[in-house]
Amino acid sequence: MSFRKKFTPRKKFCRFCADKELPLDYKRIDILRDFVTERGKIIARRITGTCAKHQRSLTTEIKRSRQMALLFYTTVHSTDVKKKTV
Ligand SMILES: [Zn+2]
């Protein structure tokens, strides 16, 4: 077996292309969280495998959700974030 990486191991493909049902929306922080680090940084496309088109809109949605205070800016809130998603 291959060694475990720091992140959850996933294959490199665009999740939004692979799953058309997957909403790319600022309200879905449960999804967006997979694309930011624990420090709130957006993970580079070459790591997540997201295609250029979706990475672009993903970035917008992440920034939007930060403004809505759904996603944390810093690591301070990262460990104990209350889930507000329905
Ligand atoms: Zn895509």
Tell me what pLDDT residue 5 has. 53
Q: Residue 68 Cα, ligand 1 centroid: separation in angstroms?
A: 24
* Entry pTM: 0.69
Q: Decide if 3 is inside a domain.
A: no
Q: Is residue 81 part of a domain?
A: no
Number of domains in the chain: 1
Distance of CA 71 from the midpoint of ligand 1 (Å): 22
Q: Report the separation in Å between the CA atom of 16 and the middle of ligand 1, taken as the mean of its atom positions.
A: 5
- What digits encode the pLDDT tens for the residues 43-77? 999 999 999 999 999 999 999 998 887 776 665 55
CA of 52 to the centre of ligand 1 (A): 7
> Is pLDDT above 90 for 8?
no
> How is 16-77 classified by DSSP, letter by letter?
HHH-TTS---TT-HHHHGGGB-TTSPBPPHHHH---HHHHHHHHHHHHHHHHTTSS-SSGGG
68: in domain: yes
What CATH number corresponds to the domain at position 43? Answer: 4.10.640.10
Domain that holds residue 30: 15-76
Q: Give the distance (Å) from ligand 1 centre to CA of residue 30.
A: 18
